[in-house]
Amino acid sequence: MRDQEPGPAGRRLTTQEAAELLGVKPETVYAYVSRGHLSSRRAPGGRGSTFDAKEVETLARRNRRESAGGSGSGGELSVRTRLTFIDTDRYYFRGVDATELAARHSFEEVAEWLWTGRLHHGVTFAAPESSVTAARHAVDALPEHAGPTDRLRVAAIAAAAADPLRFDLSEEAVLGTARILIPTLVAALTRPGFAHRDEGSLAHRLWSRLSGRTPDEAGLRVLDRALALLVDHDLAASTLAVRVAASARAHAYAAVSAGLGVIEGPLHGAASGLAHKLIMEVLDQGDAGPVIAEELRAGRRIPGLGHRLYPGEDPRARVLFELLEDIPHSAPALAAARDIVATAARHTPLHANVDLALAVFTASSAMPSTAGETIFAVGRTAGWIAHALEEYGERPLRMRPSGHYTGPKPPQPLPE
């Protein structure tokens, strides 16, 4: 039965009623709340939450428009892709379970699979000295406070300038660019006082730029698995930016730069850094309760919880948590993450996402809070290349939606 409340707020719906109207499970309703699509209010007596009926009905109409697909009037842009399919609790790269693929193959092998649909066993990526030198010189000119994503963007631009063949958009040329660009980005992430490694797997080279601690086999396995799991995730905001750039026939370096320009936001690549800081605060205080309370009091979402595409636990988080359980020094951060999930569940029953798993890994590996964003960017670069390749095979400039003008009706008089 609906709660009737006087005043401008209008009638209120229970969680179950909201779920029925939206055609989703009750836990998905709370996921909408965490993403800011719905607002909730405690029911009288503190039993559950209630929702504004008008808000719920508006969201239901929007969901129906989106489910209709296509880019016609009132609908969202829909892009055909053969790369990644996301199901209820798992996702697939070219039809193959992504978590199983990452469990059996290195990041480089998974990247090659996404690019070509073929496995290249034992493949490693290496960059020519000219590309690395150009990238490092450009990055060294940045101020000390520049973040890792700043360094990656500058490195990509410098590597492009050093490549006279960058405008060749043939598949073979773009694949050659990809195999050079990714290790160039890693090589450009130099840090004073760190013993940088420039050979071996890409995960090993990246570790030497994220942590001063000597890596062990288990830690490198987690990092390589994280890179492979993060290669692609359908049309995330940064991936859409890459496809828009590729639609305009920007070269691969420029397309990747477009993606790097988007991930720095707190709702995308930087989310793991917020989760890292949350983990560290819980470890410092010994209890998630006051930390979560302060986040809620400030009106902030709890970082590391919930994902718009998964009603349950993010499969990427599940894999990484299982690996981290085998690393003894990860135990405190893992316990903090479990405390965060359990404490937040009293308010909003959301599951852990990959940002929280990355935060546990970086916090327990002597890495800075920005390390998760760096791991995300390096891994996702491979996916961006795959989407750029797909888009180069489509009609140019098709990513050109029409604007819906809502300004003053023309003609208006010239301003004085």
Q: How far apart are CA 407 and CA 137, in angstroms?
A: 47
The pLDDT, as a whole number, for residue 47 is 67
Q: How far apart are CA 136 and CA 131, in angstroms?
A: 9
The pLDDT, as a whole number, for residue 67 is 54
Structure tokens at 407: 């300004």
Whether the CB-CB separation of 125 and 108 falls below 8 Å is answered with yes
Q: How far apart are CA 304 and CA 120, in angstroms?
A: 34
**Looking at the whole model, is its pTM more than 0.85?**
no
Report the 3 state secondary structure along 289-348.
HHHHHHHHHCCCCCCCECECCECCCCHHHHHHHHHHCCCHHHHHHHHHHHHHHHHHHCCC
The pLDDT, as a whole number, for residue 346 is 85
The pLDDT, as a whole number, for residue 5 is 37
**Residues in Cβ contact with 46 at an 8 Å cutoff, skipping those fewer than 6 apart:** none
Q: How far apart are CA 192 and CA 176, in angstroms?
A: 30
Question: What are 124-164's pLDDT values in tens digits?
Answer: 999 999 999 999 999 999 998 999 999 999 999 999 999 99
Whether the CB-CB separation of 180 and 168 falls below 8 Å is answered with no
Q: How far apart are CA 302 and CA 168, in angstroms?
A: 44
Question: What are 86-113's pLDDT values in tens digits?
Answer: 998 899 999 999 999 999 999 999 999 9
Parts of the chain with a pLDDT under 70:
1-10, 35, 45-47, 64-77
The pLDDT, as a whole number, for residue 59 is 86
Q: How far apart are CA 215 and CA 236, in angstroms?
A: 31
The pLDDT, as a whole number, for residue 199 is 86
Tell me the CA end-to-end span of the chain in Å, nearest whole number: 59
3-state SS, residue 396: coil
The interaxial angle of helices 171-187 and 371-392, nearest 10 deg, is: 170
- From the list 37, 50, 46, the residue with the least C-alpha distance to 5 is 50
